[in-house]
Amino acid sequence: MGSVQRAMRLLESVAEHEHGAPAKQLARETGLALPTAYHLLRTLVHEGYLRRDKGLFFLGEAAERLSSSGAEQKRRSTVVEALAHWRDLIGVPVYYAQYRNGEIEVLCVSDSPGNPAVEEWADFRETGHAHAIGQCLLAQLDDEARRDHLDRYPVQSITPYTVRDGHSLLRRLERTARMEPVTERQEYALGTVCAAVPITLGNAAATMAISLPAHQAHRLPAATQQLQEEIGRLMGSLAISISI
C-alpha cells in the first residue's frame, strides 16, 4: 500500500508540470528519497503511466486514459443529477437522447416508482416515428437524413394513433420548427402521452423528454414548459456534459 501511495504522489506531482519535471525535483516535491523516486518512476514509465523524454517525466498514455475516463464519468454524473432534479421538481420521468451515427439513442432515463418511465416494448431505435423522442430528433435533421432513417426504419403501426405512413410523417416534421417541442399522444404506447424538447448541441440532434399517463394529459403543456425553462436555466453548465 505504501508503494501505491508513493506512486500516486509522483503521478500527481508530474501532472502539475505541463512541461515535464526531472526525477530530483519530483523526489523533492513528494518527499521521497531519490533512489525510491527513481525506482517508482521507472516502474510507472514501464507501465505506461509516465513517459520520459530528455530526462524529464510527463504523464503517459495510461494516465491520460484514466483522466479521460474520469472526465467522461463526471459529465455523465452531471446529466444524471440534472435529470433526477427535474424528475423530482416536475413529477415526471425524464429522458435524454441523441441522434448519433444514424441511430436514435436514449442515453439516460430518470424515473421513480411513483412516476415510472415508459416501457420499451418496441425498440426505440426502430420506432422513432411513433414516439416524441424520435420525432423531435428527426425534426432536427435535414430532409436527406430523415429519408435515410425512414428507409432503414419504415413507418409501421404501433398503436391505433400512430402516424400511418412515411409521407404523413414527413409532412408533420416539415411543419415542426427545428427547436419547437414535440408532443405525441398514445402513438407509441397506449395510455401514455409524451413531449420532447430539442437541445442545441452544435450540429448534433439531441432532446430531453417527459412522459405522463394519458389520464394526466392535461399536465403535459405546463410540464413541458417547465422542462424548457429548467433546461434554459442550466444549459450553460450542461452544454459540455450532455455530449456524453
Backbone torsions φ then ψ of 39, nearest 5 degrees: -60, -45
What does the block give as the cell for 212?
Answer: 405522463
182: β partners: 196
Give the residue ranges of DSSP H helices in 116-214: 132-139, 143-152, 166-174
**Type and span of the H or E element at 45:** helix 34-46
What is the average pLDDT score of the chain?
A: 88
Structure confidence at residue 224 (pLDDT): 97
Mean pLDDT over 89-112 rounds to 94
Does pLDDT of 130 surpass 90?
yes
pLDDT band for position 92 (50/70/90)? very high
